Amino acid sequence: MALHLAHSVAAAPGDSGVREAATFDVLDDIVRQRSAQGVLSVRVDSSSDLNAVIGHLERRAEQQGRPVVVVTSTGVESSFRDAAQRLGLRAVPHDALEAAQAIGEEASRRGLLLAVPLLAGPGSNQISQWDLNVAAALSRGEYQALVVLISPRELEVSPELEALSFSVGRELSSEEARRWWDALSESARARSEGVGLAGLERWAKRGMSSRLLRGTDEEVAAAPELSDSARH
């Protein structure tokens, strides 16, 4: 599916086909456009980074007034079957091409941003072939929706996937981090209307002291800066 944008952005061609990996700031430029359509493939280092990307997508979509559907990132055998259920499709075709068409048409009808994590199913170390086939078929169609596929770099995706590709590292550049904070603060402001100064300060302190900032043991082992930042 060709990428359609109301406003051009750097490193985001309008024709289909996998491209050299673009960066987080280009991804942000695209998702900030309410009418952006197409399929994007975002590669991340780990599942925790995957959830961070999804959170950013949700915040930007919310700020644009765009409906968003997020597929679960844990414990499902098929991401696209979960997507179909979340879209309210009563029956999911067994044929990948037909499934992609049904999902794409419903996402188009609602003008969605559809975020789909592509992960290995329970007891497997690879993305299901059916999910890969649906993703490839979606990328070749023409739908009025923005579909963002997010997957860990360690897992292979289909060579038939026609999508603008993004590479998001564990650490963001200063400009990329500014964009992330901009989206977060915008959402926080919208949710805190009517909250007094003392309430805002309590919210900030609770967030900064949360154990969630430390990450899991596995995340801290992979990124020691998490434990350092939690102490400051």
Residue 210 in this model has a pLDDT that exceeds 80: no
Amino acid symbol at 130? W
pLDDT tens-digit map of 33-57: 999 999 999 999 987 889 899 999 9
Model pTM score: 0.81
Window from 57-61, 140-144, 153-157, 194-198 with minimum mean pLDDT:
194-198
Q: Where are the alpha helices (DSSP H) in the chain?
A: 24-31, 47-64, 79-86, 96-110, 129-140, 174-191, 197-209, 217-222, 225-231
Residue 193 in this model has a pLDDT that exceeds 80: no
- pLDDT (average), residues 218-228: 53
Residue 167 in this model has a pLDDT that exceeds 80: yes
> What is the rounded CA–CA span in Å between residue 94 and residue 222?
39
Instruction: Kindly list the structural domains of the chain, giving each domain's residue range(s) and its CATH number in brackets, ordered by start.
Output: 24-168 (3.40.50.300), 192-231 (no CATH)
